[in-house]
Amino acid sequence: MKTDYKDNKKEFVYQMFNKIAADYDLVNQVISLGSNKRIKEQVVKNVILEPCSNILDVCSGTGDLAMNLVKYSDKNYKIIGIDFCENMIKLAEEKAKEFDNLKFIQGDALNMPFEDKTFDACFIGYGLRNLEDLRKGILEMKRVTKKGGYVISLDMGKPKGFINTLFRLYFDNFVPLFGKILHGNSVPYRYFPDSSKTFPSQEELVEIFKELGFSEVKNYNYVFGAIAQQIAKV
Ligand SMILES: C[S@@+](CC[C@H](N)C(=O)[O-])C[C@H]1O[C@@H](n2cnc3c(N)ncnc32)[C@H](O)[C@@H]1O
C-alpha cells in the first residue's frame, strides 16, 4: 500500500478495497468464523419496511446487504448500492445482474448524488468505520432519507469484559496473519483491527445518532457485542 491510513484515510481505504476486492467475500466469511452471512440476513430482517420502498445501501462493497434485501423480501423494493471502489462495484454488479430492481453506482458516501429525502431507508454495512468523517457520513445518509425513514448501520462493536480480551486477541493477531498468508502482506489487514479500536462502541454510536437528531435509536448486538447494528429513525 502506497498510502498509510494515518496520513490519508480516504485514499488508503480506496486503494485497499480496490486491491482486496476479489478476496473480500472470502476474507469476511473466514474472519467472522462463518457468521457474516447469517448476521447480514438478520440485519435486513430487523427492519420492517413498506412494499416498494426505495432503499440505499451505502458503502455497498460486493453488494451482500443489497442482495439480502432482494432475496429475503417479496416486497419489490427498489435498491441502489453506492461505493467509491470500482472493483467492489464490478463484483456487486456481477452478483446482481439477474435483478432489475437492484443497481450499483460509483460515488462518495460523504457527498452522494441524490436529492434530499429520496430513500425510505439507508443501510450501511461495515462502512461508517471506514469514512474519514463518521458524523458527516451519518448526516449525509440522514439528508437523503425521508422523514420517518431509517438509517441502519452494521459495524464492529465493543464487547464487555473478558469477551473483549478474547476478541481483541483474535482480531489483532489472526486477521493480519490471515492477510499475510493470503496476500503476503499484512498491512491492509492490520487496518481492520486498528480501525475497530478507534471506532465508537455501540453505546457511543447510539448517543451520536441521537445527538444528530435521530429518534427511536435501537441497538442489536451480535456475537456477544463484537458486531452491532443500530436502527435510527429520521
Ligand atoms: C468493509 S467494506 C463493506 C462492504 C459491504 N457493505 C459489506 O457489508 O460487506 C467497506 C466499503 O466501503 C467503501 N467505502 C469506504 N469509504 C467510502 C466512501 N467515502 N464512499 C463510498 N464508499 C466508501 C469501500 O470501498 C468498501 O467497499
pLDDT band (50, 70, 90) for residue 166: confident
> Which residue puts its alpha carbon closest to atom 4 of ligand 1?
61
> Which residue puts its alpha carbon closest to atom 12 of ligand 1?
59
Query: CA geometry: angle at 220 spanning 150 and 61, to 5°?
Result: 65
> Which residue puts its alpha carbon closest to atom 27 of ligand 1?
61
**Cα distances (Å, whole numbers) of residue 222 to 35, 82, 155, 202:** 9, 25, 10, 11
Contacts of 158 (CB under 8 A, 6+ apart): 164, 201, 202, 225
CATH label, 9-233, candidates 3.40.190.10, 3.30.70.330, 3.40.50.150, 3.40.50.2300: 3.40.50.150
Domain boundaries, the chain: 9-233
Beta bridge partners of 228: 155, 221
Beta bridge partners of 123: 57, 152
| Stronger pLDDT, 95 or 27, i.e. the higher one | 95
Residue 34 has pLDDT above 70, yes or no: yes
- Say what the pLDDT of residue 187 is: 72
Ligand 1 centre and the CA of 41: distance in Å?
A: 18
Q: Which residue do the cell numbers 431507508 mark?
A: 121
Q: Which three cell numbers stand for residue 107?
A: 460515488
Q: Which three cell numbers stand for residue 51?
A: 412494499
pTM above 0.85, yes or no: yes
Pocket test for ligand 1, best of 130, 131, 135 (most atoms within 8 A of CB): 130
Secondary-structure breakdown of the chain: helix, strand, coil percentages, each rounded to the nearest 5:
50, 20, 30
Look at 127-141, 185-199, 209-223 and tell me which has the smallest mean pLDDT.
185-199
- Say what the pLDDT of residue 173 is: 86
Residue 107 CA: nearest ligand 1 atom is 21
pLDDT band (50, 70, 90) for residue 124: very high
Ligand 1 centre and the CA of 3: distance in Å?
A: 17
Question: Contact 45/52 with Cβ under 8 angstroms?
Answer: no
CA atoms within 13 A on the CB side of 81: 32
